[in-house]
A = this chain, B = another copy of it.
């Protein structure tokens, strides 16, 4: 019996039509698949893959033990997540060692701020791994705005809203184009940082990019909206445009 392969398959921003041809084929032919989700939820990756996945494929749902209950600064946060990822990796390793190929569903691009990386780091020296890149969530978001994000020699900076406010403001003021992700409960801090950097008026908020409930709003006009964790803020560059 030959050893199986773990495929980290990027699903793109949300519309199954935006999966790559390779991802689409891997999902249609999958015998085993795995995905992360919050406890008690179906999971966003699972939802994107739903209409494409082989209906007979065997599911391994990896449920996060913590998300926001323990603060990031608490050492128990890292410890709990670390042993969770190790348990998941061990299960995938066992499947591969018994000859099974497993498709791990990944929102966006697997190597760009994803959870799959924590499986990859534990499995890369142990079993064959194949990573399929994908359209990032931020690509889906800037496409939704209907305007190019970068021109000519523009500098693009990608920031997580979880960073300290002064660091956010400094970096927002020192770039041409800007993407801010992991907004969620950090939205007020992000607004203040954008205002300090004089970029607030140019900022767009995209929620649920490339999904049926997609919204695109100027951030200043989205004053009272609650933004979900996977909303994205875009400030377009203004580089050379002949």
Query: Could you list which residues of chain A lie within 8 angstroms of chain B, going by C-beta atoms?
Result: 12-13, 15-22, 24, 72, 77-79, 81-82, 85, 109-114, 117-118, 120-121, 124, 131-136, 139-140, 142-143, 146-160, 162-163, 171, 175, 210, 240-242
Contact = CB atoms under 8 A, between A and B. Distances in A.
A134 B133 contact: no
Contact of A135 (B85, B134, B171): B134
A240 to B, nearest CB: 7
Nearest to A209: B133
Interchain residue pairs A-B with the least CB separation, the first 4? A81-B242, A156-B158, A117-B148, A82-B242
A12 B20 CA distance: 9
Given A15-B22, A117-B151, A155-B160, 7 more contacts: A13-B133, A72-B240, A109-B143, A112-B142, A134-B139, A150-B158, A158-B158
Copies in the complex: 2
29 contacts: A13-B133, A17-B21, A17-B22, A18-B20, A18-B21, A20-B20, A72-B240, A78-B240, A78-B242, A81-B242, A82-B242, A85-B242, A110-B143, A111-B142, A112-B142, A112-B148, A113-B150, A113-B151, A113-B154, A118-B241, A118-B242, A131-B146, A133-B135, A134-B139, A135-B135, A155-B158, A155-B160, A155-B171, A156-B157
A176 B72 CA distance: 19
A148 B120 contact: yes
A62 B220 CA distance: 40
A148 to B, nearest CB: 4
A83 to B, nearest CB: 9
A240 B118 CA distance: 10
A50 to B, nearest CB: 15
Contacts of A154: 113, 160
A18 B13 contact: no
Contacts of A140: 133
